[in-house]
Structure 1
Amino acid sequence: MKRSLIARIAVVATAALALAACGGGGSDPLQNGGSGGAASGDTVVIGSANFTESQIIANIYAQALEAKGVKVDLRPPIGSRETYYPAIQEGSIDLIPEYTGTLLQYINKNATETEPDAVYNALKGALPPNLTVLDKSAAEDKDAVVVTQETAAKYNAKSIEDLAANCGELVFGGPPEFQTRPDGIPGIQKTYNCTFKEYKALDAGGPLTVAALKNGDIQAADIFTTDASIVTNNFVVLADPKDNFAAQNVVPLITKAKATGATLDVLNQISAKLTTEGLTELNAEASSDAKPSLQTVAKNWLSKNGF
């Protein structure tokens, strides 16, 4: 936090370019002719995280705004929240798809809210003065502890609580940041007294994590609940009866100065149409054998929903 603004923006721009070069964690980079640097006054600069769903939603935002005459600069995937949140704070991006619960806990590590409205209201109060969140959608995508059918049967586990006594026998895999986030490994340990044998840093529910779970390199994983790989591989999402994972409604996080006029209206209209089932369908379409571009997946959703 002691770096100068220029240095911090340079770090974010470098990270974005590096992620674009490697495909953003296995997904197509979402480029729209943009480059690094501060957002211009009449353009909405849109970022995304380094997983497919975030990139699709960012593309939905971009295409819908452009259709209403809003100037848009869609940047390549930036990375995890630990990278992109400082970028939007400092003004190098204006808008990014977010998830209410994890964003709240990132800003306030002592947050205890778990229900959708309580989380949303607490989040609005926790944001810095230059940022705001618009209407939250009904669409929700949570982190979840996911295991194979074999592991669930072996330990007779339907919930994280059922698995707790045997966590010491299991290797857990997920993105690097999950190891330290309040609702990640620390939260699972605190809430369920579950301490895993080892943590393997992989990707955000992407191909590395899915492959490691399938082949037994890990026995439990952090995978998003709308990820198409859960159904495809017949994985088991363990219930979270003690609400370690708070509500995770999709919401636009935006610079207040840009949350006006057509931008405000369009983003709220999108949030009104997004559903959890819809997110799952978007992820399934993106990972289908046809391998459509994420731009095409976004365009199809907008057409289907009357935009």
Structure 2
Amino acid sequence: MRRRNLLTGGLLVAAGACVGASAWSVAGSGPTITIGSKEFSESWVMGELYAQVLTARGFRVALKSNVGSATLIDRAVRSRELDLYPEYTGVILQSLATAKTLPDTAEGTYAAAKRYEETRGLTLLASTPFQNRNAVAVRTSDARRYNLRTIADLTRMGDISYAEYPDNITGPLGYDAIVKAYGLRRMKVRPLNIGLQYPALQTGKVQAADVFTTDPQLRHYDFTILEDDKHVFGFQNVAPVIRRQLVERYGTRLTEPLDQVDALLTEPAMQALNEAVAIKRLSPAEVARRFLVANHLT
């Protein structure tokens, strides 16, 4: 509890500008590690966490934010423009390995993703406790009234409306996929841009909504996440993708601090970090700094 108080209290007391993008480097006497991140705040924060904890351990670090999509950042690490970056285990299988079937556990997803990366001169370090995945949310009052536990239980509500962002209606993780998997023939889609599903669900304009499990809005609404027992959404823990040569060269000096950071990144912690950037408007660098100081890693 004390650690959570440090996180949620200490992080959010200040205000500032939110910045991402560009690149920075830190001079030092140790070897240079180049870290990349994608084009959204959660990835920016994780890139900063990795960069700052390695800097504190004596590495020289170059951080390149906003590298691009999973395909682009994967290409960068394979061409040695980057040494490591945070990636979602399910994305590795779905977008990079283009697997036809997915494992039905988080552990199996991680193991399959690691095996795939190791065929290409890369590997994965330990994964985070948190996942950032699609999920179905309902109001907690409705979950209690209709005894909703799994997505399939939505049939108990009769004719309902489901908030889905337009680009995901027909995708493998979207409305069509869950209707087919769970037989939800009485659930109709209501297209809403990302973020608008939260007030729509709160006010009853929709009865269920597609959400992301580390969205900071989930900290402020009384919603219940329904269990995806058919694993339509897969598993999306994060792990550093890193060149195997570096692990062999530097060993635990490199891997241990990254493992220590990732072990702390629970779902509530990541929601708070995302809130600090997206809503409180702190920079990703400042959010990472406060988190590492609060947890005695710098």
TM-score of Structure 1 vs Structure 2, range by shorter chain? 0.7 to 0.9
Amino acid at match of 2:102: T
Counterparts of 1:141 and 1:110, CA distance in 2: 21
Counterparts of 1:253 and 1:201, CA distance in 2: 33
Counterparts of 1:266 and 1:177, CA distance in 2: 36
Q: Aligned with 1:132: secondary structure?
A: strand
Q: How does 1:1-307 map to 2 (within 5 A)?
A: 28-31=18-21, 33=23, 42-50=32-40, 52-78=41-67, 80-81=69-70, 83-106=72-95, 107-127=97-117, 128-148=119-139, 157-164=148-155, 169-174=160-165, 176=167, 179-181=170-172, 183-185=173-175, 187-194=177-184, 197-198=188-189, 200=191, 202-203=193-194, 207-211=195-199, 213-214=201-202, 219-259=207-247, 260-261=249-250, 262-286=253-277, 289=280, 291-307=281-297
Residue ranges of structure 2 left out of the alignment (5+ in a row): 1-16, 26-30
The structure with the larger Rg is 2
Q: Aligned with 1:222: secondary structure?
A: strand
Amino acid at match of 1:59: E
Amino acid at match of 1:60: L
Contact 1:108 1:126 in 2 (8 A): no
Q: Aligned with 1:146: secondary structure?
A: strand
Q: Aligned with 2:231: secondary structure?
A: coil
**Post-superposition shift, 1:132?**
1.7
Contact 2:163 2:206 in 1 (8 A): yes
Evaluate the alpha carbon distance shift between residue 180 and residue 130 of structure 1 in structure 2; reply closer, same or farther with a 3 A threshold.
Answer: farther
Q: Aligned with 2:218: secondary structure?
A: helix
Counterparts of 1:75 and 1:178, CA distance in 2: 32
1:78-125 deviation digits (Å, cap 9, x = unpaired) = 455355444444544432222223432332432331223222111112
> Highest relative contact order (Cα 8 Å, sep 6+), 1 or 2?
2
**Post-superposition shift, 1:60?**
0.4
Q: Aligned with 2:163: secondary structure?
A: strand
Counterparts of 2:168 and 2:62, CA distance in 1: 27
Evaluate the alpha carbon distance shift between residue 254 and residue 209 of structure 1 in structure 2; reply closer, same or farther with a 3 A threshold.
Answer: farther
Amino acid at match of 2:120: P
**Post-superposition shift, 1:222?**
2.7
- Which of the pair is proportionally richer in strand? 2
* Amino-acid identity (%): 29
Amino acid at match of 1:273: L
